Structure 1
Amino acid sequence: MANALLSIQIIPKVKNEELYSFVDAAIAVIEAANVKYEVHPMETTMEGELSELLEIVQVMNEKMTEMGAPGVISQVKISYRPEGISMNELTEKYR
């Protein structure tokens, strides 16, 4: 079982018309990492081992600069529980 949930809002410093292609590329990094995730209007939440999720955040930031963003802001929220945690566990009563 996963021990962490990590939500990220990644904001590459680019022109507004370029933003969506950068966000799509950031989500593609998550897809390639093969972790459970959900895209929401304001952020994307991943479920997995904390160390793995933090590595994904690093790769996402590197991808943004490789694509030409001169800088990136990443707003990250982490819920860590060594005995295990899941998105479903926290949201099932709302579904």
Structure 2
Amino acid sequence: MAYADDAEHEELHEPTSFIAKYVWSQDHKVIAIQYSLIAIFVGLIALVLSAMMRMQIGFPESIDMDSTEYYQAMTMHGMIMVIYLLTALFLGGF
């Protein structure tokens, strides 16, 4: 019975640094926050791509973007919105 008494008095080791708590965490609440923050950050990148596409359509001479770069921006914007935002934010964040 000495082993059972020792197990009851063990101290828990809490994370001591930011990296230990938020980067290497296995806590489901922290992981949900990580998913949400990454989805918001990537959503801001998609917002910038959307603004660049709108500027190209509205004012063609304002941004030096050819048709290949425009299609690349449109593809990246679509993939970011579908894969990162819909998957990471709506499935991982909740």
TM-score (norm 1): 0.30
Larger Rg: 2
Q: Write 1 or 2 for the structure with the bigger share of helix.
A: 2
Structure of greater relative contact order (alpha carbons < 8 Å, 6+ residues apart): 1
Q: Which has the higher strand share?
A: 1
